[in-house]
């Protein structure tokens, strides 16, 4: 396992990447605002209101995600605080692994859904929350539950949670700006002798945004999630000292075909495994925010020198 000092490096890396993400996303928003405003107003001066709106949208998204983003995500999933009596085993597991990870015990929530999944959220280790579905609590044994909880606590320790919140907010802001523009096009009417050319330019720009905005959103989510998921899996094994528990948890969650209704594309990168399966109508995309469960299981098996999954076992896992 990686030495403890490496986790401080990961925290520093995530802080740097969070700052770069904010700057990049605000730059993209201002650029989009400039293009939209110039196309509709005819010059940069006329585009200033749109540029200012785009910049404020970016800064507002950052501030909102930092201070209330976790509350919004928890509210959207209808998560409720864990009950000390009913959820005693979950609270015990979270407490013991938080001590092992050297972080404060996060607030613990239950999502009233029979699907098997979990996520961690918050702006830092002192303001973190862990939410698991009722299905996960009911269907996983203690060792499997430790694997999932260890994974999510690793996201908290590495400050992946802050980065993930910023991704959700800023991607949402970019898609929102593009969506506002697409809806405004139908009501916009060009003026002057070059009206037809201006209309064509705006129409082409609208088509461009309609195609690229969702693709951009998914690509950013992928960049935010994939390597971090592999690392959190390995970190969970480091915390629990039990690769089999983590492997069994991934296998059980991977075979679950329950649909997590409260999940959506904006938040799917937050979860333990992708909550939107390929067999669902709402999946509708070529990109996954998570590495495949087969790859994750095989990496864990490699930690104990076990062979990769056989074809039958691999084919049983939902994606």
Phi and psi angles of residue 215, each rounded to the nearest 5 degrees, phi first: -65, -45
pLDDT of residue 89: 97
Which pLDDT score, from 0 to 100, does residue 195 have? 60
Measure CA 57 to chain center. Answer: 20
Q: Residue 1's pLDDT is what?
A: 44
Report the first-to-last Cα separation within the chain, whole angstroms: 28
Residue 146 makes CB contacts below 8 A (sequence gap 6+) with 93, 97, 236, 240, 242, 245
Residue closest to 14 by CA, chosen among 228, 159, 119: 159
C-alpha–C-alpha distance, residues 245 and 149, integer Å:
11
Q: What is the pLDDT of residues 143-185, one digit of tens each?
A: 999 999 999 999 999 888 988 888 778 777 877 777 777 777 6
Q: What is the pLDDT of residue 246?
A: 95
pLDDT at 5: 47
Domain boundaries, the chain: 4-315
Q: Where are the beta strands (DSSP E) in 112-244?
A: 118-122, 128-133
Per the listing, tokens 């799917």 go with: 268
Residues of the chain with pLDDT under 50: 1-5, 286
User: What pLDDT sits at residue 169?
Assistant: 81
Number of other CB atoms surrounding residue 63 within 10 Å: 12
Q: Which residues are catalytic?
A: 152
pLDDT at res. 208: 72
């Amino acid at each position: 396992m990686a030495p403890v000092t490496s986790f401080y490096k990961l925290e520093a890396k995530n802080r740097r990447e969070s700052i770069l993400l904010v700057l990049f996303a605000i730059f993209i928003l201002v650029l989009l605002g400039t293009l939209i405003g110039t196309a509709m107003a005819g010059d940069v001066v006329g585009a200033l209101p749109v540029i200012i709106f785009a910049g404020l949208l970016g800064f507002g998204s950052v501030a909102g995600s930092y201070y209330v983003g976790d509350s919004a995500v928890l509210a959207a999933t209808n998560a409720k605080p864990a009950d000390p009596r009913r959820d005693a085993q979950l609270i015990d597991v979270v407490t013991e692994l938080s001590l092992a990870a050297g972080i404060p015990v996060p607030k613990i929530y239950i999502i009233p859904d029979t699907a098997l999944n979990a996520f961690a959220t918050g702006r830092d280790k002192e303001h973190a929350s862990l939410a698991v579905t009722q299905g996960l609590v009911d269907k996983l044994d203690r060792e499997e539950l430790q694997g999932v909880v260890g994974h999510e606590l690793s996201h908290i320790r590495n400050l992946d949670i802050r980065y993930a919140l910023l991704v959700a907010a800023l991607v949402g802001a970019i898609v929102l700006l593009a969506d506002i523009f697409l809806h405004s096009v139908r009501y916009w009417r060009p003026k002057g002798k070059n009206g037809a050319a201006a209309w064509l330019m705006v129409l082409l720009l609208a088509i461009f945004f309609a195609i690229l905005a969702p693709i951009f959103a998914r690509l950013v989510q992928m960049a935010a999630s994939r390597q971090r998921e592999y690392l959190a899996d390995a970190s969970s094994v480091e915390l629990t000292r039990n690769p089999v528990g983590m492997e069994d948890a991934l296998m059980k969650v991977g075979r679950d075909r329950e649909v997590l209704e409260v999940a959506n594309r904006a938040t799917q990168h937050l979860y333990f495994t992708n909550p939107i399966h390929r067999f669902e109508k709402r999946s509708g995309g070529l990109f996954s925010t998570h590495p495949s469960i087969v790859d994750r299981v095989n990496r864990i098996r490699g930690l104990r020198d076990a062979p990769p999954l056989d074809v039958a076992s691999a084919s049983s896992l939902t994606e």
